[in-house]
Structure formats: structure tokens, C-alpha cells
Structure 1
């Protein structure tokens, strides 16, 4: 029987922490976080937990700034309450290119930083762009389906850039996703597949209904042991409050990996100190690898667009005169 590995760990950062780090990209705190060997930094976790601080910064904007200043992969919190799936897919794919394959998304049903009054209670309503759709596991699931398909709709090796034939891309391989659900999205995405194939698709769950949907679709699920058994999804992380992480077992007992969740008011030095203590005590182990998928031990995404309709009609061949 092989030796069971110690849990990996990741570090959550609230909007308050993101404001501090982006304001000073050369800060010792950022260097300290980057030196921990965390599997990833989860950006904007207070948006998913429902306890936002008084100051915040959009997680995807933060990722654009931090990708150049850190080698640690980044998991960006996003929610259909604020983000339309097409826009979210495009931003996350662009960030994955920018970072060299170190980005994924962590979906949440609601964004605690979105307005509380109508239409902020509906999907896409938090951005005040439309009436949206009812929030719930089905809407989050639909968002995940759209993201996964869009990220595969434009294979990067379809770009041939042949000057002699004047062919930029093999257009037959760029496809529609033809998704009809809570959201109707034809596709394709205008961003090609990324250095890790597709960004990692994560989902943070807080209810049994969310968990039931997430384990059938997400590659990485953040949830308690009561909601998500460790074998239920390809990668499972337990949400652990920072004060619980300081305990003897680091807040984890079942072999799942750990996502450390500080409060907005927790100093970054304290976050780094507790993570280092867990490493020193052998409670967790550092992660290695250059891409996010490598850091969390995740293989390529499941292919979902076999036989999809080409997005561009092939030009008729010219007859020789």
C-alpha cells in the first residue's frame, strides 16, 4: 500500500487583501505568499463566503496585476449574479494566456459584493445590466456548462498562419457551442485555448443542492465534508477558517486539500505565518508545477464539443481559369 500524501493547501485572499497587494506589487507580503508553495491563491474569497470587507477590488482585475508579480497560480472568484458567462469565459481565458497557464475560476452562486437591492438578486443582475435570471444551483450549473464549452470552441492549433496560402486558421475547427439553457450562447469564444488547454473550472458550494450539481461538472470543488466527500470530484478543497487552521490538524482530517480563509481584517503577515506553521509542522505539503492543473494534480479537461457545428463556412474553392 502506498503512503498517503499530506494535503495540499491554498490561500484565500479577500478584497481587502487584494487592494493592499495590487497597490504595492513589490510588497514583502506578496513575496511571502509566493514563497509558500501554495497550490493557488484564491482571489476574492469573501465574495463567495458572504462576508465582504469594506474595501474590495475585482478579482479578475487583481489577477491581471498579480499574474506578473507572482509565480503562484490564481483562482478567480466569479458569480453569475455579476458576470455573464461569455464575459467571464473571455476574461479568465485571457488571464490564463497572460499568466502562462496559471489561472482558473471559482464559481459562487452569489457575489456578496453585488448590490442587495433588485435587480441584484438575479443572475447577471448584480452588474445592473438586465433583469437576469433567478439565482440558484441551476443557474450556476448553466454558467459552468457555458464556460467549459466556450473554452474549447477555438483550438489554438487551428491557427496555422500560413503566409503562402494566406490561410490564418483552419476555420472548420472553430465551432459554435449552441448552448440553450438559462443563458443562450452560440459561441465561439474569441480567445483560443490556453497554455493548460482550458482554465480550471472550480465551484464553491454552500448547500446540498449546489454540491450535487458541482460534483457532476466542476473539476475542483470547495466544500465541507458534509457536502462533498473527498472522492466526489477530481479535486476537493475544504474551506478552513484561519483560526481553525492554527489547530493541531490544520482544520482538516479526511485527506482533502485545504483552502485557508482569512477574514478581511486579518493582516497578511498573519496569513503567511499560519501557512508557514502548517508547513513546518508537516500538516500540509507544498505544491509543485508551473500550471494550475499541475499544482492541483489535475489532468486535461473533458472534451465536450465533438461534432460541433463549425462557426465559419468554408470558402468555395476557385476553379482554374
Structure 2
């Protein structure tokens, strides 16, 4: 795994961490629909996986990146069953209280202001276990990669527009928040967003920002854009080696390689950390049967996984998704942006 220390508007630095690989899952198709509806088979399958303590986070909504099947060769009709990932996370996060919840999103479907608000809400509900995976939709639209990169920047700016630290809740002085810390972002790019966000940040600060890379657009352009804004890249298996080569620099994000259930053990057995730069494996699960199969496989390689048993002992639990992945806090300094409230409406 790679741990990033990112200073505000500074240059990220990277240091190797003493871990082998992390495990995550993408829940799609019948499994996602069944879990969203509270069906016992889907819920029990995911709850059993959760109980093993090996999975760091779950992605909901990845169907929108490649609705007709991605590089894993999953093209069955059930995979196209769409769920609204924010609604699933908000309604069902208590069933999986240790997992991070990452919402899949594309600019074609999700305007960045609405998306920032939904992800922030999930981050509050889960006490800092929220994140988002942005990516190019299928089929890609004109300037698709640029739109994703611009939307990702809007997300970051909005998440910093109302800092949690501004909340003082001073009943004696009648002050709820230091409103001088609330800023308009006045973003002007492919998206025009004034801000601020209408909810403060959570205990995690910025939710974790990932980029789901596909082969739907120019991959090289997408990789460069993703590496500039995202903390984590989720890549197809046939692109893992080019990404590892690109990761030779000192400012690499985390890398999760997408795999099918049958390829997981072999992937983890060949270490993905260190010089090769990959951080973990993301397994696509489209049915309760696939989840049960992964549950049976985990015991063979769990000792190699980051987070295996993290919540088994007192005090062992990482509080936020960012902590569990070894990601340092990051912010964008909005001190040069205008105040959201005029001086006469601000109280000290």
C-alpha cells in the first residue's frame, strides 16, 4: 500500500507502508438490488463477508461506468440492475458498520454539487467512512475525461467550503458557527458552481476521492487526469501493468486492481505492494452466490490483507475510511475565496 501525505496546495509525498494488499468489493446487479431492498439472502451474504474483517470498503453503483460489461467480462443482464448508491448507503450502512461506503458517480448523471452533498451526507451518517469513485460513463461523451476531472475538483472545493472546525455551538454567546470560515468556491470550468456546500464537512474532512478507470476513453489521458486529482485509482486488470509503470513517480495514488472472484487468490498471492505500486484488489460481486464464494476464499489469503481482523479487538478499529486506507488528511485552502455571507450577517 502507499500512504500519501498531502499538504494544502502542496506537492504530495509518498512513503511505502508495511502492508501487502487491501481488499474491497464492488456490489452490483442482483446482489446490490437485493441488499437495497433488505432481502435476507443478499444481506446475509454481505454481512458474513463483513464479519471476516478483511474488506476495507464497498463500492455501490459501478454499473454506470460500463453497463454492458467491463474488463472482467461480466455482461449479464442482471448486472445492469441500477441502484442509487447514496440511498443504499444512507439506508443500509448500519448493516455493515465497519466498511467504507464509496459511491460511484459520473458527471453525465451526477452534477458535482448534488454529488458533493450526497457524499457528505453519507460521510456524516457513517461517521467518516464515506467516499466517491468518479469516472467516465459508458458510452463516453465529448470531453468526458475533462468533465470528470473538473467535477472532481468541484467536489474537493465544496467539501472544504464549510469546515467542521467552524462549528462552535456556543450557546452562551449565541454563536452556532464562525461564518467567516464559510467560503464561496466560485468555480469556473466545464462546471460553474458558486457554493458553498449547505452542510459542513465530517470528522473525516474530505471524503476519499477515487477514480474508476475504464477503456471507454483515451486511457493515457484518463490516467494522467486521474493521477492529478484522485487519491485512489481503480483499474481494470488488463491495465494494471501500465499503471504500475506510471506509478514509478513519487506522487502516486493508491491503486486497486479490479478482479473477478476466481482471480482473487492468485492476485493477492503475487504481492502487489512495494516497487510495483499496487495497493489492493477490488472484487466485483453481482450475486449472493459470488459473495459467498469470496467469503470461502478469504480464509486462504486473509493474513496478507490490510484490515484483516481490524475490528476484532478493542481499540483496533480505524475510525474513518481515510485512516483504514492509510491516507493522510488533505484540504484545499479557500482563504482567497469570498465569504459566503456578507459582513453584516456574520457574527464573531
TM range (shorter): 0.7 to 0.9
| Mapped contact 1:225–1:238 kept (Cα < 8 A) | no
Q: Normalization by structure 1: what TM-score?
A: 0.83
Where does structure 1 lack aligned partners over 5 or more consecutive residues?
123-133
**Structure 2 residue aligned with 1:218:** 230
Residue 20 of structure 1 aligns with which residue? 34
Query: In 1, distance between residues paired with 2:184 and 2:46?
Result: 40
Aligned residues: 296
- 1:206-231 deviations in Å (ceiling 9; x for gaps): 21111100111111111223135445
Q: Write out aligned runs for 1:191-230 (5 A).
A: 191-206=199-214, 207-223=219-235, 224-228=240-244, 229-230=246-247
Contact 1:6–1:284, Cα closer than 8 Å, also in 2: yes
Closer/same/farther in 2, CA of residues 250 and 81 from structure 1, 3 Å limit: farther
Q: 1:256-286 CA distances to partner (integer Å, 9 max, x unpaired)? A: 222333353553212322334331xx44343
**1:152–1:305 contact (8 Å) kept in structure 2:** yes
Measure, in 2, the Cα distance between the counterparts of 1:249 and 1:158: 43
Q: Which residue in 1 is equivalent to 2:152? A: 144
Distance 1:269 1:316, change over 3 A: closer
Aligned to 2:283: 261
CA 1:8–1:209 in structure 2 vs 1: closer, same or farther (change >3 Å)? Answer: same
The answer to whether the 8 A contact 2:164-2:203 is kept is no
CA distance in 1: counterparts of 2:135 and 2:345, whole angstroms: 46
Q: CA RMSD in A?
A: 2.6
CA contact (8 A) 1:12 1:43 kept: yes
C-alpha spacing 1:297/1:316, structure 2 compared with 1 (3 Å): closer
Per-residue deviation, 1:193: 0.9
Match of 1:30 among 46, 49, 67: 46
Q: Distance in 1 between matches of 2:44 and 2:23?
A: 21
2:325 matches 1:296: yes
- Mapped pair 1:311 → 2:340: yes
Separation of aligned partners in 2, 1:106 and 1:54: 18
Match of 1:84 among 95, 111, 129: 111
- 1:102 and 2:129 equivalent? yes
Tell me how far apart the structure 2 counterparts of residues 9 and 264 of structure 1 sit (CA, whole Å): 16
Query: Where does residue 128 of structure 1 map in the other structure?
Result: none
Counterpart position of 2:266 = 247
Tell me the residue number matched to 1:156.
164
262-271 or 301-310, larger mean C-alpha shift = 262-271
- Given that 2:25 and 2:58 are in contact with CA atoms closer than 8 Å, whether structure 1 keeps it comes out as yes
Q: Which moved more, 1:262-271 or 1:28-37?
A: 262-271
Distance across 2 between alignment mates of 1:167 and 1:103: 29
Match of 2:11 in 1: none
Preserved CA contact (<8 Å) 2:232 2:254: yes
Give the Cα–Cα distance (whole angstroms) in 1 for the partners of residues 176 and 18 of structure 2. Answer: 49
Deviation at 1:144, TM superposition (A): 0.4
Separation in 1 of the partners of 2:44 and 2:300?
18
1:277 paired to 2:304:
no
Q: What are structure 2's unaligned runs of at least 5 residues?
A: 1-15, 70-74, 311-317
- For 2:171 and 2:285, how far apart are their aligned partners in 1? 55
Asked if the contact 1:9–1:285 (Cα under 8 Å) also holds between the matched residues in 2, the reply is yes
SS for the counterpart of 1:192 is coil
Q: Which moved more, 1:76-85 or 1:227-236?
A: 227-236
Higher helix share: 2
**Measured at CA, do residues 312 and 3 of structure 1 come closer, stay the same or move farther in structure 2, by a change above 3 Å?**
closer
Q: RCO greater where, 1 or 2, for CA within 8 Å and sep 6 or more?
A: 2
181 and 6 in structure 1: CA distance in 2 versus 1, 3 angstrom threshold: same
